[in-house]
Structure 1
Amino acid sequence: MPATQIVFVGHHKERLIESIRALRDLPTSRIILFVGEENLPGEARVRRIAKEIKEELEIIWEVEIHKIDKRNIIKAASQLIEIIRNEKHLGREVVINASGSLRTLAIAGYIAACVTSSKIFTSIPRYNEKEEEVGIEEIIEVPTLPVDFPGEEQMEIISSIGSGVESLDELILRINPGMNKGSSEFRRERSRLSHHLAKLEDAGLIRKEKHGRNVRIVLTPLGRFLLEGAVYGKEVDEKKAVLEEVR
């Protein structure tokens, strides 16, 4: 399977190039270099380095430069998940190379790797007797942890909230279209959802906003991020099931 390397560009050009080449055992066919969206201090240099790396490596591989949020870790992780999802849909394995990144991007990359079951690597620099960096001592794979998603009932609630609901009653009807508001079943559903919403709020996945008499329910950035990861995981499971059926 062809592989795409996701590479976070920093100020260490030679380290990055060496780390990309150190992963030569992978069937890399495509490299995506990430630079910052905002004009942060030092970002102009990062973008110059990205262009130089692109020019040097596109003789061998397909190379693209993308932008990413360097300040917001959850947003950056979501951006990465979307890219990884697209690459895997095209039949490519995805490897994250965090050898030259800011800590924020390394963390975002690790989260994205855990959610999408992708591999992530970093490098240990090599120094000379003058303590000057002269290359890479070793490139290592960072073990990822399985992501423990909320239960099926809670994921259904998160998915139903989507871009937000104006009230608990609206959420009940989204999950149970046609349910009679005056029924005992509706009251039981209200109690059930209230219980789960309290847990989701404690976990930082939803937020309640009072608007007049209604209490609007919205997903937090973490909730949206989790939903994206869950959708991705479901798609992967469905594809695996199809493959098993074909076999």
Structure 2
Amino acid sequence: MGNQKDRLIESISALREIPFSKLFLIVGEDKNKASEQNIEKVAKQIQNELKMLWDIDIRAVDKQSVLKAANQLFTMITEEKMIGNDVFLNTSGSTHTLSVGAYIAACMTGSKMITAIPKYDDMGEEIGIEEVIEIPVIPVDYPGEEQRHIITLIGEGVESLDSLIFMITPDIEKDSKEFKSERSRLSHHLSKLEEAGFIKKVKKGRNISIRLTELGRMLADMINSKLI
């Protein structure tokens, strides 16, 4: 959320036909900024005003980084989906960074996303909302089963392609024809995962270590949670 208290409350009120059981108000982690202190103050006001209608929780995310915000929102959404809840993301009045992060999280989890279109008077002053619209979410084309398995094996990172090969096939001999074939096959899969933005390669001496990106960690969490 941003500091547009009235816009956010109006957008929530406009969706009363949806049986919400819980609301999360998302604020920024950086409490040293005066703007974030004001936003948290607004969040607490909303929490107090609407607490008789819904269970309201205030959560903090990194609003300075799109991908970190997306990952944190993704975790919250995943926790709710695992207990059978659907999630709507409402970006009415949010900062651009948080809105983009929310969109990524919505795409990754297949969640719905809405926002309020503000209404202005002849002087250009905001006087409410025109309407609440649903933002189309583009489905993520997830990797196939074998590439998903590779993602889960990488976990916190592997130090070389050879290490990954031995994780998949512990008994394989390094100088064998099968090892060379496996190396070629995994290199192909890793290139595809890198192109999709799920992994990154880091050169360390003669070896190239493999790490998950923020998107890769989100995907790994979804796989481990059996959401895909």
TM-score higher than 0.5: yes
Work out which of the residue numbers 79, 82, 88 in structure 1 matches 2:81. Answer: 88
1:54-73 aligned within 5 A: 54-73=47-66
Moved more, 223-232 or 172-181: 223-232
The alpha-carbon deviation at position 180 of structure 1 amounts to: 2.5
Percent of counterpart pairs with the same letter? 52
SS at match of 2:123: coil
Q: Deviations over 1:65-92 (max 9, x none)?
A: 0001101111111111111111122222
1:17 is aligned with what amino acid? I
**Aligned-partner SS, 2:21:** strand
Q: 1:17 aligns with which of 9, 13, 26?
A: 9
Please point out which of 151, 167, 175 is paired with 2:144.
151
User: Alpha-carbon deviation of 1:230?
Assistant: 4.5
Q: 1:199 to 1:29 in 2, by over 3 A?
A: closer
In the alignment, the residues of structure 2 paired with residue 83 and residue 20 of structure 1 have an alpha-carbon distance, to the nearest angstrom, of 19
2-structure distance, mates of 1:175, 1:139: 49
In 1, are the aligned partners of 2:199 and 2:210 still within 8 Å (CA)? yes
Following the alignment from structure 1 to structure 2, what is the Cα–Cα distance between the partners of residues 31 and 202?
36
Residue in 2 aligned with 1:213? 206
Provide the residue aligned with 2:101 in structure 1.
108
TM-score using structure 1 length = 0.85
2:13 maps to amino acid: R
Partner of residue 172, structure 2 = 179
Which ranges in structure 2 are unaligned for 5 or more consecutive residues?
none
Provide the rounded CA distance (Å) in 2 between the counterparts of 1:201 and 1:88.
28
Q: How does 1:123-202 map to 2 (within 5 A)?
A: 123-202=116-195
Structure 1 CA distance, aligned partners of 2:55 and 2:209?
46
Q: CA deviation at 1:47?
A: 0.7
Contact in 1 for aligned 2:200/2:213 (Cα 8 Å): yes
Q: Counterpart amino acid of 1:87?
A: E
Distance in 2 (CA, whole Å) between partners of 1:82 and 1:92 is: 14
> Do the aligned partners of 2:71 and 2:214 also contact (CA within 8 Å) in 1?
no
* Structure 2 equivalent of residue 236 of structure 1: 227
Match of 1:46, SS? Answer: helix
Report the Cα distance in structure 2 between the residues aligned to 1:123 and 1:64, rounded to whole angstroms.
Answer: 21
Matches of 1:210 and 1:17 in 2, distance apart? 50
Q: Which residue of 2 aligns with 1:121?
A: 114
> What is the CA–CA distance in structure 1 between the aligned matches of 2:59 and 2:7, rounded to whole Å?
20
Give CA-to-partner distance per residue, 1:88-146, whole Å, 9 cap, x none. Answer: 22222211111110111111111111111111100111122322111111001111111
1:41 Cα deviation from its structure 2 partner: 4.8
Structure 2: how far apart are the matches of 1:104 and 1:162? 27
Post-superposition offset of 1:25? 0.9
Task: Report the CA distance between 1:229 and its aligned residue.
Answer: 4.2
Query: Where does residue 243 of structure 1 map in the other structure?
Result: none
> Take 2:224 and 2:108, find their aligned partners in 1: how far apart are those partners?
11
Q: 1:205 to 1:65 in 2, by over 3 A?
A: same
Equivalent in the alignment of 1:240: none
